[in-house]
Amino acid sequence: MHVWQAPAMKSAVGKRVIIAGVEGPRSLTGRLVDQLLQQAPSDVGRQIQLATVDQLPQPPEIQLTSATDAVPSDVALMPIARSEGFDYVLQGRVIEKTHQRIRRDVVPIQNAAPEHITLSWRLLATGGDQPPIGAPLTVHFDDAMQRYPDLANEEDPTLALLKAAARDTNRLILPSLRKDEVLLARPYLTPLSGRVRKGNKLAKNGNWQMAAQLWEEALRWHPLNTSAMVNLSLAAVARQDFTQAKELARRAVRWAPTKFNKENLVWIELRQREYHKSFGLDDPPEGWFVTFDEAP
């Protein structure tokens, strides 16, 4: 099952973010910023508006007070970004980039596949009401090509690595999907257990909608079928209906307080917390039942 994973730094969904440049080799930084702009997701629910410093109305002082040629100083940039309606400033630095060990007399270094790139990112809220958040990021070429197979066809390996780095940077400030393995309840010697198991096969093949129909039928004919309750709670998570998911999971725990059913309820609420954190949502109306807020 694919579930939402909260960004590592701060959710910037629906926010305006100014990229305040990236320190490091000029051969990389400009291309990386270009890829950040190009790789910004536009799908519903993850929209973000990115801009660069050169798109701001910059007074001369912003250049005079720049910390480096690539990154303006916070003091000069923050009030301008805030007055232009930006919520965050994103600053970056290329810490390290290495190439795979090759014989330079055989393959020119510029054509060699890069081994990895290490970046440091810093996110600052223009309102000044939040402390800066920093995060390192290392992108290995081979791992990135497995994670993003479409980049394997890129002729320029350095560009492929920079595209992967931009996508991984998105994960620092935007929610992303990850695949979680879930355990379905498997009933035996209970009324309509065959129908529940048939639904399980459909769910394992990704057909949660048809599976849910079978589990609903089983529960309708046998209201105490806790296996159908548990599996329906997972189907509700798949369609991001966490309120119903928790209602079904709690009902299953009341009728059969097994370790499996209790762990299922905890897993669902943790995924709901992740979902709310990902998109900056308020606590659900029904509240939290089995998990607690993180310590400040």
Question: What letter does residue 54 receive in the DSSP assignment?
Answer: G
Q: Tell me how far apart the alpha carbons of residues 98 and 138 are, in angstroms, rounded to a whole number.
A: 11
49: nearest Cα among 78, 90, 8: 90
Report residue 135 as tokens. 């995060």
User: Among positive and negative, which fits the CA dihedral 40, 42, 46, 47?
Assistant: positive
Which residues face 2 on adjacent strands?
179
Q: Tell me how far apart the alpha carbons of residues 17 and 49 are, in angstroms, rounded to a whole number.
A: 6
The helix/strand/coil state of 2 is: strand
> What are the tens digits of pLDDT across the range 236-290?
999 999 999 999 999 999 999 999 999 999 999 999 999 999 988 899 998 999 9
DSSP secondary structure string, 114-138? EEEEEEEEEEEETTS-S--EEEEEE
pTM of the model: 0.80
Q: Tell me how far apart the alpha carbons of residues 213 and 207 are, in angstroms, rounded to a whole number.
A: 10
- H or E, element range at 3: strand 2-5
The helix/strand/coil state of 177 is: strand
> What are the tens digits of pLDDT across the range 88-118?
999 999 987 675 544 444 444 455 667 899 9
The helix/strand/coil state of 97 is: strand
pLDDT grade for 56, boundaries at 50, 70 and 90: confident
pLDDT grade for 26, boundaries at 50, 70 and 90: confident
Give first-to-last CA distance, the chain, whole Å: 31
